[in-house]
Structure 1
Amino acid sequence: MTETLTPAARERRSEGHLPVPRDPRAPYRAGSWSVIIAALVVLHLLAFSATDFHPAKLVTGAQGMMNFLSEAIPPDLSGEVLRKGLEGALTTLWIGLLGTTISVPFGLLLAVLGARTTAPNAFVYQIARGILSFFRAVPDIVFALIFVTAVGLGPFAGVLALIAHNTGVMGKLWSEAMEDIDPGPEQALRTAGASRWQVVANATIPTVLPQLTGLLLYRFDVNVRSSLVLGLVGAGGIGLLINKAIKTFQFDEMLTYLIIILVVIVAVDLASGWIRKRLQ
């Protein structure tokens, strides 16, 4: 049978270019993408229905929003409000700081036990990973509610909540960092007869120390923001003041507290970024 070629195909053949064969999986891939897109559309429609997502309500509720803003602006800059706001912001900062630093030894221990390259055996590895998964899975605000019940209202409950949650998050991140390092220094120490903990202390941790520090600073940023939310459930800090201002309809005070915490968070971001650059 004589092969029928288009003029363009004849030209390519005359120039030594062979036609590109068709991918036999192309129709299958196109069908798979069609199914995925259709499934995503259906899921979003169900989500819109379940969450009562109607952007038009923003238009109908514009008047209520304007009334809220008119009561909040200008912010209350009286001396008493500023004093309480600054004290609450400092408490929020201390909650984030202690919740970050006190979780370091717990997170580091679980990271060593939960990394494949440093865990003593598979059983210890699975136990450590399970503990990390639990602390990471439970939100810090749930921990705050539990500790408020245990120790009462105040910043101590917020610190305990951040310690628990941050231990899980940092342990997971640090264990993955330990698994990704160059195994050369560790193997050299093992060959020289070093024990497991000597290898961890003299090879693993020094190798990943800059990365661990960068992750810790990032978590400090997150924890300062989280401590604001924890205050809304009674765990102290400026979040508690914001919650009281909303409940008493003192929206001008609320705006003052929001401005203060915004300044604190921006300052923490800038300081953390400056330190991270120096560590690189």
Structure 2
Amino acid sequence: MTRGALLEPGPRHAGPPERTVPAPRPAALGVAAILVAFAAAAVWSIVDLRINVASLVDSADNAAAFLSRVFPLDFPPVGDIARMTGQTLAIVVCATALSVVLSFAVALLAARNTTPSPSARWGARALIVIARAVPDLVLAIAFLRMFGLGALAGILALGIHSVGMVGKLYADAIEDTGAGPRDALRAAGATWWQQITGAVVPQAMPSFVATALHRFDINLRTSVVLGYVGVAGIGMELSVAMRTLDYSRGMALALLVVVLCIAVELVSGAARTRLLGRTRSGLAWVRAPRAPRPAAVRLADGRFRVSPPWSAARIRRTLYAAGGITVLAAALVYVDVDFGRAAAGLRDLPATAGLFVPPGTGGMWGELVAELIVTVQIALAATLLGIVLAIPVGCLAARTVSPSPAIATAARVFIVCVRGIPDLVVAIVFIVVTGLGATAGALALAVGAVGLTGKLVADSLEETDVRVQDAVAASGARRGQVFVAATLRQSAPALIAHVFYQLDVNIRSATLLGVVGAGGIGFYLLNATRVLQFDVVTTIVAMIFAVVVAVEAVALWIRKVLA
């Protein structure tokens, strides 16, 4: 062997391939830090509020005493039940119709493809945020001051507050419409309004109606809370029964509310599914394709007709619309609004608005801050507990994950039943069992979160790409590995968004539940209205608004990072 041979490099042995792990993005690290901070704050809230098994066990005697005072249930006469139910449904129908009208106008300005200018778009978006941030309870208090007890205050409060949700979803639906039909109408010489009615509205109509039905469900549950401040209906009768400790009558009315909410949820859910055109495709439910409608038809005289022909589908839609208008007309007659009183209240609007400004603290700023922290604690604890309970339920309800269709159906029915129970009813039960305070509020919202978050989790899991799961399963992965590696990984961004959405909902709900003694700043809000400290009401609303906007800003940033 020569010296040169000794100096030549020998062949290298092939080793295992190097695994390159991309460095995490700073934004992703920020999201992880926020999630860890959220979990830590939620755990601290649970500990600080003394939510534990021992506390619930200690309340067993209270629960037994409460049940002994509830049964037998004392239902009102059938005539009174019909009257109260009619009042509640009429208020909710009118409020939802008002929100649809206002939201459609605001959405046209807020949608990017229909707004006349960027300034109009941002102004409309600001109105949507404000309507969503101001609690409907506060609106009801203000309108009761203007118009007195009755239905009008509840209609206006629910209708205006609903713009915060309905207006946003309507604007999103308008932005999702295709540009082709509208471009065709524009090329044919159609006016702006003809383009909206002939191209934009027909495409977005299923989403419009489905959103209105969903908001109807929410307004029905919220109307029960407004009964505690004087809005007519079942909620007012329930508040009277609970204030007088007539638990047998109160729980009978609560059961009536639950049955009514579940029935409306089932009917509106079936209608939303039909309107959205969802159909079964394998294990997932997807939107069924719809036949395109002609944008315009040339008439014999050379003009264009933008309305569709009178087909069977159009006749059916017209009958639905006529039925809805008939129901709305009957509701308007039933609520029997005193227009003279309404006109007088509008004349007093400047004086009423002046009661709320400038903001004041009533000499209890420190207490308000402390109770705001308690409200946030209630929301954090309820969100964490609700997620822990909702994820298993959502997994069982998702048809792409559930062990069998029967289990998925049973889980879906359970979710519908839980969603049908108003948070106020659950809070009343926990207040009687565990006593007044934040513990009852957190437990009530945790139960409610099972219905909302469980549904969102199930829908997100079903919307994942089944082909990715099939590919992982074909490689020999077990069912649990497929779930973690494919299903959960795809739905993780949506699940994180659901967590912060639930937190946002719980902050608002914790404020409302305070009116029945479930802890937090809502109790001070109700007391401020009772003693006519409307400047304190403004301060409390501003504090809640600041917290909600902060949570919304964090949620928007996280969604942007994970998109």
TM-score over 0.5 for the pair: yes
Flag the 1:83–1:252 CA change in 2: closer, same or farther, 3 A. farther
The residue aligned with 2:236 is 240
The residue aligned with 2:169 is 173
CA distance in 2, matches of 1:94, 1:65: 35
Q: Is the 8 A contact 1:86 1:260 kept in 2?
A: no
1:72 to 70, 73, 81: 70
Flag the 1:247–1:176 CA change in 2: closer, same or farther, 3 A. same
2:212 partner letter:
L
- SS of aligned partner of 1:181: coil
Flag the 1:246–1:116 CA change in 2: closer, same or farther, 3 A. same
Q: Is the 8 A contact 1:85 1:241 kept in 2?
A: no
CA distance in 2, matches of 1:127, 1:32: 31
CA distance in 2, matches of 1:78, 1:89: 12
The within-5 A match list for 1:111-190 is 111-190=107-186
Flag the 1:209–1:34 CA change in 2: closer, same or farther, 3 A. closer
Report deviation, 1:44.
2.1
Q: What is the CA RMSD across the aligned residues, in angstroms?
A: 2.6
CA distance in 1, matches of 2:75, 2:238: 15
The residue aligned with 1:221 is 217
Report deviation, 1:168.
2.7
Flag the 1:65–1:196 CA change in 2: closer, same or farther, 3 A. same
Sequence identity percentage: 34
Flag the 1:129–1:217 CA change in 2: closer, same or farther, 3 A. same
Q: Is the 8 A contact 1:153 1:234 kept in 2?
A: yes
Q: Is the 8 A contact 2:129 2:164 kept in 1?
A: yes
Report deviation, 1:263.
2.1
1:251 aligns with 2:247: yes
- Structure 1 runs, 4 residues or longer, greater than 4 Å off: 1-6, 26-38, 49-52
1:74 partner letter:
P
Provide, for residues 129-187 of structure 1, a one-character-per-residue CA deviation record: whole Å limited to 9, x for no partner.
Answer: 11111111112222112212221222221111111112232111100111011111122
Provide, for residues 62-92 of structure 1, a one-character-per-residue CA deviation record: whole Å limited to 9, x for no partner.
Answer: 211221111011101463xx54333222211
- SS of aligned partner of 1:232: helix
Q: Is the 8 A contact 1:117 1:179 kept in 2?
A: yes
Q: Is the 8 A contact 2:107 2:171 kept in 1?
A: yes
Q: Is the 8 A contact 1:231 1:239 kept in 2?
A: yes
The residue aligned with 1:15 is none
1:71 partner letter:
R
1:210 aligns with 2:214: no
Flag the 1:28–1:222 CA change in 2: closer, same or farther, 3 A. closer
The residue aligned with 1:12 is none
Unaligned runs of 5+ in 2: 1-8, 278-563
Report deviation, 1:32.
6.6
CA distance in 2, matches of 1:248, 1:209: 46
Unaligned runs of 5+ in 1: 10-18
1:90 to 69, 86, 98: 86
The residue aligned with 2:383 is none
1:200 aligns with 2:200: no
The residue aligned with 2:259 is 263
CA distance in 2, matches of 1:204, 1:27: 40
TM-score where L is the length of structure 1: 0.85
Q: Is the 8 A contact 1:132 1:167 kept in 2?
A: yes
CA distance in 2, matches of 1:171, 1:29: 31
Q: Is the 8 A contact 1:85 1:256 kept in 2?
A: no
- SS of aligned partner of 2:230: coil
Number of equivalent positions:
267
Report deviation, 1:104.
1.9
The residue aligned with 2:102 is 106
Q: Is the 8 A contact 1:141 1:230 kept in 2?
A: yes
CA distance in 2, matches of 1:117, 1:29: 31
Q: Is the 8 A contact 2:182 2:200 kept in 1?
A: yes
CA distance in 2, matches of 1:25, 1:267: 52
Q: Is the 8 A contact 1:116 1:125 kept in 2?
A: yes
CA distance in 2, matches of 1:33, 1:274: 37
Report deviation, 1:204.
0.6
1:63 to 61, 64, 70: 61
CA distance in 2, matches of 1:33, 1:131: 29
CA distance in 1, matches of 2:248, 2:231: 23
1:235 partner letter:
V
Report deviation, 1:43.
1.8
Report deviation, 1:60.
1.5
Flag the 1:180–1:49 CA change in 2: closer, same or farther, 3 A. same
Report deviation, 1:273.
2.7
CA distance in 2, matches of 1:247, 1:181: 50
The residue aligned with 1:13 is none
CA distance in 1, matches of 2:233, 2:149: 11
CA distance in 2, matches of 1:28, 1:224: 44
